[in-house]
Amino acid sequence: MNLIEKVDRGIYAIDQMWTGNPKFSSCYLIEGDKIALFDTGPTTVIDRVLDSVKKIGYSPGDISYLIFSHIHVDHAGGAGSLCKNYPHLKVFAHEKGVPHLANPERLYKSMKRVFGDNAEKLYGNVIPVPEDQLHPLKDGEIIDLGKDRKLEVFHTPGHASHHLSLYDEKNKVLFAGEALGLYFPEVNVCFPSTPPPEFDLVSAVNSVNRLEQLDIIKLLYTHFGSARDPHSAIQRAKEMLIDWGRVINEAMNESNDKSYIFERLSEEALKCINHIKNDTEKYNKYKELIEYRSTFTCGPGYVRYFKKGGQVL
């Protein structure tokens, strides 16, 4: 299976094949005078990602920068392990996320709480990034890789308070991270990614509104690949964030029963795969994914947001 795709001039998507699952999690190798990786994935995929880096034509030592969309373990869990072997690496993340890379204890504990004994198997060890390798980023900063490759930092809270996206204005490429949710190129479907404890609907929609203003030819997701039509994908991401919020809020007003609330969200979310209803195998695959996420990530994220007094839009 080919795990590398050249998605634009000087930009390669690397499929992490996390838990053996193709086309779910990726990171991006970005070329300039300096070489950067945008997200790395958890420790369990690092060897595979470095193999792909070699296949693209670089040795792991050629990478200068690691830039993280956010510090959740599925995106940045491997940062510490990489830094241990490559102490020259500079690690960039939003200033609010940087302390958790230096001291990942809280991340590790929440990973253990959610995944129990499976956590290590899924994500591997999470070790600290040495402080002198860490570089906090603010909204509006530019990371200049040289050779006309400038990456502007957009602070895009919502999925997490410290989430950031990168915009390459010259080449009209947006590295969205998870700010626009998940995208499944196989079926041209996107949907919100709204996990507890930090998901914030108002921030998420404000972030989408900012990204919507950009001139984008290539829209790249960490989960997964590039959108066929960036502007309609952004539009849909916003509508779904708002619609899902309304459904959850309504269900919470009707009942305290979480399984009822999550079922209502599933029903709403399933609308996005209506167009593949005739392809039973594919439909069932995405149905299962939607039901899982409605119950374990997206639903609980909205519920927590509303319980904290969050606004409906």
The answer, yes or no, to whether the previous bond of 224 is cis (omega within 30 of 0) is yes
Q: How far is the CB of 50 from Zn ion (least distance, A)?
A: 20
Distance CA 260, CA 21 (A): 30
* Structural Rg of the chain based on CA atoms: 19
CB under 5 A: which stretch of 30-38, 67-75, 84-92, 245-253 binds Zn ion? Answer: 67-75
Applying CB under 5 A, does 200 fall inside the site for Zn ion? no
Q: How far is the CB of 259 from Zn ion (least distance, A)?
A: 25
Strands lying side by side in the sheet with 4-8:
4-8, 11-15, 26-31, 35-38, 63-67, 90-94, 134-137
Q: Which is nearer to Zn ion, 233 or 251 (CB)?
A: 233
Distance CA 244, CA 250 (A): 10
CB under 5 A: which stretch of 74-82, 113-121, 251-259, 264-272 binds Zn ion? Answer: 74-82
Q: How far is the CB of 279 from Zn ion (least distance, A)?
A: 26
Q: How many residues bind Zn ion (CB under 5 A)?
A: 1
CB under 5 A: which stretch of 37-45, 53-61, 70-78, 119-127 binds Zn ion? Answer: 70-78
Q: How far is the CB of 215 from Zn ion (least distance, A)?
A: 26
Around Cβ 110, how many Cβ atoms within 10 Å? Answer: 15
- The correct pick among 15, 31, 74, 168 for binding Zn ion (CB under 5 A) is 74
Q: Give strand ranges (E) for 32-70.
A: 35-38, 63-67
Binding footprint of Zn ion on the chain (CB under 5 A): 74
